[in-house]
């Protein structure tokens, strides 16, 4: 490659497009009425997935109970939209299938902030 006056632009484009960071966007939905799930089982599902804060003795003691996504680096957009690394997506998808969730997945290019959150950059 020859060095031109605009070479720094070409180098930047090559680096950016040559090393795009890819993640898996997972969108899921629990259909309570069709699957016959109770409100308690849906709450249990979300607690297992995201974790929750537990309190005892009338709010005197607080502990945090970890969920599946506390052990996996992820970006949460809404209750049912998350981005994870490609290597961790199988764990999440198998967990979602246990509860009969409708799942859609896409391979997406991550922004710099999302890639840092997932530990990819």
Lowest mean pLDDT among 32-36, 60-64, 68-72, 111-115: 32-36
CA-based torsion, 89, 27, 54, 99: positive or negative: negative
Dihedral, CA of residue 51, residue 29, residue 72 and residue 120, to nearest 10: -140
CA dist 37 → 34, 42, 104 (Å): 8, 7, 20
Q: How confident is the model at residue 10 (pLDDT cuts 50, 70, 90)?
A: very low
Instruction: Report whether pLDDT(18) > 80.
Output: no
Q: How confident is the model at residue 68 (pLDDT cuts 50, 70, 90)?
A: very high
Q: How confident is the model at residue 21 (pLDDT cuts 50, 70, 90)?
A: confident
**DSSP for residue 69:** G
């Amino acid at each position: 490659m020859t060095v031109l006056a605009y070479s720094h632009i070409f180098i930047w484009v090559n680096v950016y497009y040559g090393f795009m960071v890819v993640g898996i966007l997972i969108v899921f939905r629990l259909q309570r009425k069709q699957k016959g799930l109770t409100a308690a089982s849906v709450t249990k599902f979300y607690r297992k997935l995201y974790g929750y804060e537990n309190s005892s003795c009338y709010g005197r003691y607080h502990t945090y109970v970890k969920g599946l996504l506390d052990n996996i680096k992820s970006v949460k957009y809404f209750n049912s939209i998350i981005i994870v690394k490609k290597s961790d997506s199988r764990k999440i998808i198998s967990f979602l299938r246990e509860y009969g969730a409708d799942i859609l997945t896409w391979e997406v290019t991550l922004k710099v902030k999302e890639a840092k959150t997932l530990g990819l950059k």
